[in-house]
Structure 1
Amino acid sequence: MNLIQTIILAIIEGITEFLPVSSTGHMVIASAFMGIGKNDFVKLFEVCIQLGAILSVVVLYLKRFFRSIDFYLKLVVGVIPAVIVGVLFKKRIDVLLESPLVVAVMLVLGGIILLFVDEWFNKPAIDKEKEIDYPTAFKVGIFQCLAVIPGVSRSAATIVGGMSQKLSRKAAAEFSFFLAVPTMFGATVKELWDYHKHHAQMFDGDQLKYLLIGNVIAFVVAMLAIKTFITYLEKKGFKVFGFYRILAGLVLIALYYTGHLTA
């Protein structure tokens, strides 16, 4: 992994983290195209720079994070399912993260769902995060567990999950952003701890530089992406993302079976 590859992956992460198109999936595919081997540091990098993007939520919605204890309790309740799944199935998840074909297939399947989700859940009753109760937060958290499969998209899973619980598109998207903060913070801490256990030296100079640069770039790009996404989502909905996912997935499947894309 070199500096140019680091910058490219960080830009991809910043743009795609909050779109329902799978940031992890796009990084897996980009890594495969650029010939980046899946060593321990690359796996760590792809998780850690997601935290950089997620921290942009804290900055943009800073007042929400100082509103009440109830806000944090909802996030705790919502993140419990992901913690359980992450602990129980981490090794299997790591294997899936190495497969561009899994990403491609899930892009297509998720895209088909996004074509219809606006029609399925078109009668929202909850328009603000403070109206979400604890059972609803937990149910959305269960949907978030689907995102352990690369290509599903954590954003798509939680937004669709929220809309299925009668949240408006905006409320579902914002709660998805908020739920990402403890989820990705926990994932990053665990990834760093696992890496530390298996490596005598935590990082060399280049690796530390790549992590810092990657997180800063992902943070800045994500700041720009969030507002644009929310505005578009309120006006247009999910269909364009569904078509994009299907097209991208089919192209990737074709590339995989013609030998132009390998794990």
Structure 2
Amino acid sequence: MDIFQAIIIAIIEGLTEYLPISSTAHMGFTAALMGMEETEFLKMFQVSIQFGAILSIVVLYWRKFFDFSNFNFYLKLGFAVIPALGLGYLLDDKIEAVLGNQIAISTVLVLGGVVLLFVDKWFKNPKINDEKEITFKKAIIIGFWQCLAMMPGTSRSAASIIGGMTQGLSRKAAAEFSFFLAVPTMLAVTVYSVFVKTWGKGTELEQKGYEMILASNETIITFIIGNVVAFVVALIAVKTFINVLTKYGFKFWGWYRIVIGILLLVYFNFYK
């Protein structure tokens, strides 16, 4: 992976991480369409640049994240992230095995798009418009909904936003809580992938993520640039998404997923 490819992947991450269209799917498709070899470094890079996207949320909502008087906010996120941490650790190998299956991911992209076409009709009368109104029980339930995104192509954002709407949250409140929940979730995933997980297990190339990053000046620069680009692009994408979602709902994103998913199914079935 060269610097140009890393920048393209990071742009895709920043654009799609907080949209209900699956950043994992889009990064995987982009890498495949660019003819990139599916190396362990590429897999790790796609996970680790989420750190840049995390920082964008902390910066945009810095008053919320640094309001230490609102201890319940941190507790809610702590309880809500537990399901994903537990199941993610247990299913890590199975999740990684699916990452290279573009047909399966494209199919999930289409099915998820069909669901999004009807979400606005299913949840018409929200009762909660602010994070402070979310109970611990509701936060944990949203955390379990987030776990649906362990199937690549589902979208963590879509799963947690829909989970929030099932609990009576408005579209905007559900989206913002999804953003907040992404911070501990993705931070844990990034730390695990860089410092804990052994990539290439069972091969001669067994390495920790940080060992791959520090292997050369080129990989260090690639890692830094990837996170910076993901951060900047995510800053723009989050604000745009909130405005579009509040005004138009999910239908646009549903049709987007369906069209892209079908095109990718055709490509990977007949031309790849």
Q: Distance in 2 between matches of 1:51 and 1:120?
A: 33
Which residue is equivalent to 1:241?
Answer: 253
Cα deviation code 1:72-92 (max 9, x no counterpart): 100011100101111111000
Contact conserved, 1:44 with 1:195, CA < 8 A, in 2? no
Residue 160 of structure 1 and its aligned partner are, at CA, apart by 0.6
Deviation, structure 1 residue 15: 0.7
Once residues 51 and 122 of structure 1 are traced to their aligned partners in structure 2, the CA distance between those partners, rounded to angstroms, is: 34
Instruction: Show structure 2 runs of 5+ residues with no match.
Output: none
State the match for 1:221 in structure 2.
Answer: 233
Matched, 1:254 2:257: no
**CA deviation digits over 1:113-170, x for unaligned, max 9?**
0000000011101000111011101010111111111110000000011001110000
Give aligned-pair identity as a percent. 52
Q: Which residue of 2 aligns with 1:15?
A: 15
| Structure 1 position 195, deviation (Å) | 4.1
CA distance in 2 between partners of 1:59 and 1:113 (Å): 31
Q: Deviations over 1:212-245 (max 9, x none)?
A: 0000000000001111110111110000000000
Cross-structure match for 1:114: 116
TM-score (ref. length: structure 1): 0.96
Aligned length: 260
Tell me the distance in 1 between the aligned counterparts of 2:60 and 2:85. Answer: 25
- 1:174 counterpart SS class: helix
Aligned partners of 1:125 and 1:167 also within 8 Å: yes
SS across alignment from 1:107: helix
Which residue of the partner structure matches residue 49 of structure 1? 49
| Displacement of 1:35 | 1.6
Distance 2:18 2:197 in 1: 26
Runs of at least 5 residues in structure 1 that lack an aligned partner in the other structure:
none
2:50 and 2:230 in contact (8 A); partners too: yes
Q: Over aligned residues, Cα RMSD in angstroms?
A: 1.3
- Whole-angstrom CA distance in 2 between matches of 1:33 and 1:143: 31
